[in-house]
């Protein structure tokens, strides 16, 4: 470890890491790094487990959002719901899934809710959500059970998994965050085909009950091993001052340098960058949710068969997930901002491509642009998840990312509710054209993103050290 020219505070023990020596070093911006402890010192095993377990849990909860559209027809017939009823159930789910991220992050950073407990509670609420969808024909009770309770449960799992990866891989979080985030999309693939081909009014109780049990078991089992690193922790083999160490990590840090300090939520908001990220989430997630909500219906509207409709959604889910991992890896090479602009442009172009494929009745082109839409419609999520600690630090990441991700609250209405109104008024072509235009505006706004404090005068102000 290169000696710190600014400060070095040696310590031999800590309440959460007895007998594991560490020291705290401070860089030229006043940011504190806790170095010396390895992942095995803290966990007793490799931190890679903090990638694979969140990934598995994310795959389990993916059925909520990405497979729901394929189950809507059967649910409508089984419970006597209208298309509007099934739409609002999903919209309420999106609202609470995104909305719980901020309060859950605040509770975690206040020490009132550990990562493990958040996952345990989330697993039980996810089960309740699917039991409600299975057994409650009253649409208001279904909205309460699946939309509110199930949404909160899935949101607790989602936010906890994403933040876990960001905390354990501060030096190369793009690829890891993208990999974990990808599970939230392609994990739904088996269920998309089950809902399209093996789900009917004769077996819907059994299928939905089993899915709920599956989610609870997988999430609960994964949660048993969840543990956050100490505040300010940094990998022992990477110098946080010079980024010397593994070559791949050095390349990533050069393109995406650590945050200049640990920003509290209020400080992050005052930079103006966090509000800009929130606006970008509203716009890009709105376009993505629009595609998820209407792609199958549009395929049927233009005369494509059920196999193409189902396959287009399956393609979207798979590429949506794989794209998150690929772009996360690319962002370590290119830089997070550059990768984000690229993804948003692809998302916008895909919307115009879907119109073209529908107009000329080309199934192959439709599947191709479903591919692009899936790629762009998911890849921005891990980029925002990685950008948040890149810009504002890891110590308050659960809350800061909760604020950024809460933009999806508005997206659920913009992409679904307003989307359905635009489809009714302008038709699918007009709605897809508007979605493409929104993406292009978002790409321009993304060019304004910058890391707060980078390139400014040295600050030696003390950094906050919240307790875990």
Strands (E), 66-144: none
pTM: 0.81
Give the pLDDT confidence score for residue 457 in this predicted structure: 43
Q: Taking the mean position of all CA atoms in its chain, how far away is CA 26?
A: 31
Q: What digits encode the pLDDT tens for the residues 88-123?
A: 898 899 889 989 999 998 998 888 999 999 999 999
* Alpha carbon distance 265, 314 (integer Å): 38
Query: What share of the chain in percent tops pLDDT 90?
Result: 40
Check: CB of residue 87 under 8 Å from CB of residue 71: no
Homologous superfamily of the 49-235+238-446 domain (CATH): MFS general substrate transporter like domains (1.20.1250.20)
* Alpha carbon distance 41, 23 (integer Å): 14
Residue 278: pLDDT band with limits 50, 70, 90: very high
Residue 250: pLDDT band with limits 50, 70, 90: low
Give the pLDDT confidence score for residue 466 in this predicted structure: 42
What the block records as the tokens of 369 is 């642009």
Give the pLDDT confidence score for residue 342 in this predicted structure: 94
Q: What is the CA radius of gyration of the chain?
A: 22
Alpha-helical runs (H) found in 305-396: 306-334, 336-359, 363-392
Give the pLDDT confidence score for residue 456 in this predicted structure: 52
Q: What angle do CA 258, 260, 264 make, to 5 degrees?
A: 105
Q: Which residue has the tokens 């739409």?
A: 87
Q: What digits encode the pLDDT tens for the residues 386-419?
A: 999 999 988 898 899 999 999 988 887 777 667 7
Query: What share of the chain in percent tops pLDDT 70?
Result: 87
* Alpha carbon distance 61, 152 (integer Å): 12
Check: CB of residue 193 under 8 Å from CB of residue 342: no
The candidate with the shortest Cα–Cα distance to 331, out of 146, 225, 176, 210, is: 176
| Burial degree of 405 (CB within 10 A; 0-12, 13-18, 19+) | buried
Q: What digits encode the pLDDT tens for the residues 190-237?
A: 888 888 788 888 898 999 999 999 999 999 999 999 998 988 888 888
Check: CB of residue 14 under 8 Å from CB of residue 230: yes
Comparing 13 with 365, the larger pLDDT belongs to 365
**pLDDT of 254 strictly over 80:** no
Check: CB of residue 463 under 8 Å from CB of residue 27: no
Give the pLDDT confidence score for residue 18 in this predicted structure: 46
* Alpha carbon distance 384, 411 (integer Å): 15
Residue 359: pLDDT band with limits 50, 70, 90: confident
What the block records as the tokens of 325 is 């991992």
Q: In 10 A of CB 200, how many CB atoms?
A: 13
Q: Which residues partner with 25 through β-bridges?
A: 8, 33
In the chain, where the domains are located: 49-235+238-446
Per-residue pLDDT, averaged over 364-381, amounts to 83
* Alpha carbon distance 329, 339 (integer Å): 10
Residue 329: pLDDT band with limits 50, 70, 90: confident
Give the pLDDT confidence score for residue 375 in this predicted structure: 83
Give the pLDDT confidence score for residue 7 in this predicted structure: 40
């Amino acid at each position: 470890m290169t000696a710190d020219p600014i400060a070095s505070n040696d310590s031999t023990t800590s309440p959460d890491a007895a007998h594991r020596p560490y020291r705290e070093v401070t860089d030229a911006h006043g940011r504190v790094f806790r170095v010396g402890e390895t992942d095995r010192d803290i966990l007793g095993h490799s931190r890679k487990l903090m990638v694979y377990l969140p990934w598995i849990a994310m795959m389990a909860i993916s059925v909520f959002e990405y497979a729901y559209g394929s189950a809507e027809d059967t649910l409508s017939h089984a419970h006597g719901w209208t298309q509007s009823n099934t739409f609002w159930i999903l919209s309420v789910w999106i609202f609470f899934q995104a909305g719980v991220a901020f309060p859950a992050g605040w509770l975690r950073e206040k020490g009132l809710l550990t990562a493990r407990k958040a996952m345990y509670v989330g697993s039980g609420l996810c089960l309740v959500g699917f039991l409600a969808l299975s057994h409650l024909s009253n649409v208001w009770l279904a909205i309460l059970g699946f939309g509110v309770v199930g949404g909160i449960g899935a949101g607790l799992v989602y936010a906890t998994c994403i933040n876990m990866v960001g905390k354990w891989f501060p030096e190369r979080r793009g690829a890891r965050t993208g990999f974990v985030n990808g599970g939230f999309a392609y994990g739904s693939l088996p269920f998309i085909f089950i809902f399209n081909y093996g789900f009917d009014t004769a077996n819907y109780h059994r299928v939905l009950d089993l899915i709920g049990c599956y989610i609870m078991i997988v999430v609960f089992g994964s949660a048993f091993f969840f543990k956050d690193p100490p505040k300010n922790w940094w990998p022992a083999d990477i110098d946080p001052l010079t980024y010397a160490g593994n070559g791949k990590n050095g390349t990533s840090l050069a393109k995406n340098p650590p945050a200049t300090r640990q920003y509290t939520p209020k400080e992050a908001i005052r930079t103006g960058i966090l509000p800009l990220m929130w606006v970008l989430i509203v716009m890009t997630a709105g376009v993505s949710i629009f595609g998820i909500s209407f792609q199958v219906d549009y395929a049927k509207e233009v005369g494509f068969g059920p196999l193409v409709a189902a396959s287009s959604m399956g393609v979207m889910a798979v590429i949506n997930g794989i794209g998150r991992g690929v772009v996360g890896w690319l962002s370590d090479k290119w830089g997070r901002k550059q990768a984000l602009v690229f993804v948003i442009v692809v998302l916008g172009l895909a919307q115009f491509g879907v119109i073209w494929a529908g107009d000329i009745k080309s199934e192959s082109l439709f599947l191709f642009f479903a591919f692009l839409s899936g790629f762009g419609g998911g890849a921005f999520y891990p980029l925002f998840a990685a950008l948040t600690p890149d810009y504002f630090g890891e110590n308050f990441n659960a809350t800061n990312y909760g604020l950024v991700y809460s933009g999806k609250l508005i997206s659920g209405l913009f992409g679904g509710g307003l989307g359905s109104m635009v489809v009714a008024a302008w038709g699918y072509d007009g709605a897809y054209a508007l979605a493409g235009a929104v993406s292009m505006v978002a790409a321009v706004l993304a060019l304004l993103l910058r890391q707060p404090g980078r390139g400014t005068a040295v600050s030696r102000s003390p950094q906050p050290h919240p307790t875990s």
